Amino acid sequence: MALITKAIKGTQDILPENSGKQRFLENTLFEIADSFGFKEIRTPVFEHTELFQRGVGDTTDVVQKEMYTFDDKGGRSITLRPEGTAGAVRAFLEHGLFNEALPQKFCYLLNCYRYEKPQAGRWREFQQFGVEMLGTASPAADAEVISLANEIFSFLGIENIELQLNSIGCPTCRQKYHEALKEYFNGHKEELCGTCLERLEKNPMRILDCKSPVCKEISAGSPLIIDYLCDECAEHFDSVKKYLDNMGIKYTVNPRIVRGLDYYTRTVFEFVSNDIGAQGTVCGGGRYDGLVEELGGPKVPALGFGMGTGRLQLVMQGQGIELPDDKGCDIYLAPMDADASLEAMRMVTDLRSSGIKAQTDVVGRSLKAQMKYADKIGAKYTVVLGSDELANKAATVKNMSTGEKTELSLEDFEDNFMRLTINDETAQLADGIDGNVNLADLFGNLT
């Protein structure tokens, strides 16, 4: 029975007290992506299992160990998406978007599902913000996608996050590299884990991404892909770096990055924070020039990234960055009796129609209890309505932060109230910045 009141391991609830911050973060991500010309795409939470086997790669940890796969009642194998790229590319193909103006630029915010060991920064249901750009092989595109991720971190005020960059080449460079890897790992066959022994035959590069400590240690001495790049890939990588240098985006080349998904080619990158322990990769991405074709489409070079918003928030918490939290009540109307309650309910309707966040008593509380409640929900203004106010058609509105009281006519109350708040805000601005400035004040249009 206890199961009913316990969420599934590795999942999280976002309670109303935090959802305002979450919403602000989500809006911010979309706004930034929008300024780069990336438009939202929404795809289903589940897809045919084969899409991920083909798209993510069936020798990856994600496909081999982490997917939530089940047969539906019609006997089809279905998988809850472990990432966003495969679904986005599937939609790109299904709707023939390769015939539209290229590049197509998508962004998305979605819940992903991976059966992993839950720990700090690692959940079984987690949210990813991602972007995909399809239809360009140019290194300028790599720089644009990386600079978008970079912009998110700098807008949010995140520091000490390192951009690590690598190139893992194309199938041509990989042929030679795979041989070198096979030779190297063959010398360590006895020590490798069972999964990696299989990978040694099918896809030796995957061993480099194994989480087992022994395999990790062996991998640390393996040959590096960057030493095997063909001329075109080396040139491409140099050009990406040149763009980044010119844009003032700092990076370090980490020749050990291979990424956990099979579809990557050429540029791969991670944004890593040392502030949140072992799960320090907040954002990972790269180029996947072969994926569209692999999924049965035309040859369309593409790239993207995925950013875990949960890890992003851990980094912000660690650095003491507070997201604005709009408690969401501009004015609270406190009726003193039944007649006033009737009138208050009518008034909040008008206020809300004018875009004002208004609340009133729906419990039948005493005036004192109502004021306590108004304080708890962070009402910016309060107004008490009794028989006198109704008779005089006027009431006193109290600014809860300054204590200032203003008498307003109840005729067209919403207009009068709006004028009052505009006056107060102008006065506050004229007083200069009062130390309460936060992201929401600066970018009010985002909330």
Interaction of residue 162 with ligand ATP, rule CB under 6 A: no
As a whole number of angstroms, the distance between CA 198 and CA 242 comes to 39
Interaction of residue 126 with ligand ATP, rule CB under 6 A: yes
Q: How many CB atoms lie within 10 A of CB 261?
A: 26
SS3 at position 147 = helix
Strands 281-287 and 265-273: antiparallel
Options 284, 290, 297, 335; binder of ligand ATP; rule CB under 6 A: 284
As a whole number of angstroms, the distance between CA 144 and CA 107 comes to 14
Q: Which of the residues 349 through 408 are near ligand ATP (CB under 6 A)?
A: none
Strands 68-71 and 161-167: unpaired
Least Å distance between CB 263 and ligand ATP?
A: 11
Binding map of ligand ATP across residues 50-89, x = CB under 6 A, - = no contact: ---------------------------------x------
Burial class (CB in 10 A: 0-12, 13-18, 19+), 220: exposed
- Closer CB to Mg ion, residue 273 or residue 382? 273
Phi/psi-derived region of residue 297, left when phi > 0, alpha when psi is between -120 and 50, beta in every other case: beta
Interaction of residue 228 with ligand ATP, rule CB under 6 A: no
Interaction of residue 279 with ligand ATP, rule CB under 6 A: yes
Q: Which residues, at least 6 apart from 316, have a Cβ–Cβ distance to it below 8 Å? A: 156, 158, 323
Options 23, 64, 102, 116; binder of ligand ATP; rule CB under 6 A: 116
Q: Which residue number has the CB closest to ligand ATP?
A: 308
- Closer CB to ligand ATP, residue 128 or residue 147? 128
Q: Which residue number has the CB closest to Mg ion?
A: 260
SS3 at position 440 = helix
Amino acid at 265: T
DSSP for 248-268 reads: T---EE-TT---SSTT-EEEE
Q: Which residues, at least 6 apart from 208, have a Cβ–Cβ distance to it below 8 Å? A: 181, 219, 222, 256, 258
Residue 334 binds: one of ligand ATP, Mg ion, none (C-beta under 5 to 8 A by kind)? none
Interaction of residue 308 with ligand ATP, rule CB under 6 A: yes
Residue 167 binds: one of Mg ion, ligand ATP, none (C-beta under 5 to 8 A by kind)? none
Interaction of residue 166 with ligand ATP, rule CB under 6 A: no
- Closer CB to ligand ATP, residue 273 or residue 382? 273
Interaction of residue 114 with ligand ATP, rule CB under 6 A: yes
Residue 128 binds: one of Mg ion, ligand ATP, none (C-beta under 5 to 8 A by kind)? ligand ATP
Options 38, 106, 123, 332; binder of ligand ATP; rule CB under 6 A: 123
Options 21, 241, 311, 398; binder of ligand ATP; rule CB under 6 A: 311
Region binding Mg ion by CB under 5 A among candidate stretches 3-11, 84-92, 254-262, 429-437: 254-262
As a whole number of angstroms, the distance between CA 146 and CA 154 comes to 12
Region binding Mg ion by CB under 5 A among candidate stretches 43-51, 187-195, 258-266, 320-328: 258-266
Interaction of residue 132 with ligand ATP, rule CB under 6 A: no
Strands 358-360 and 161-167: unpaired
Total residues at interface with Mg ion (CB under 5 A): 1
- Asked if residue 204 has a cis previous peptide bond (ω within 30° of 0), the answer is no
Interaction of residue 325 with ligand ATP, rule CB under 6 A: no
Least Å distance between CB 290 and ligand ATP?
A: 17
Nearest to 23 by CA among 264, 309, 242: 309
DSSP for 16-72 reads: HHHHHHHHHHHHHHHHHHHHTT-EE----SEEEHHHHIIIIITTSHIIIII-EEEE-
* Chain residues that interact with ligand ATP, rule: CB under 6 A: 83, 114, 116, 122-123, 126, 128, 260-261, 279, 281-284, 306-308, 310-311
* Chain residues that interact with Mg ion, rule: CB under 5 A: 260
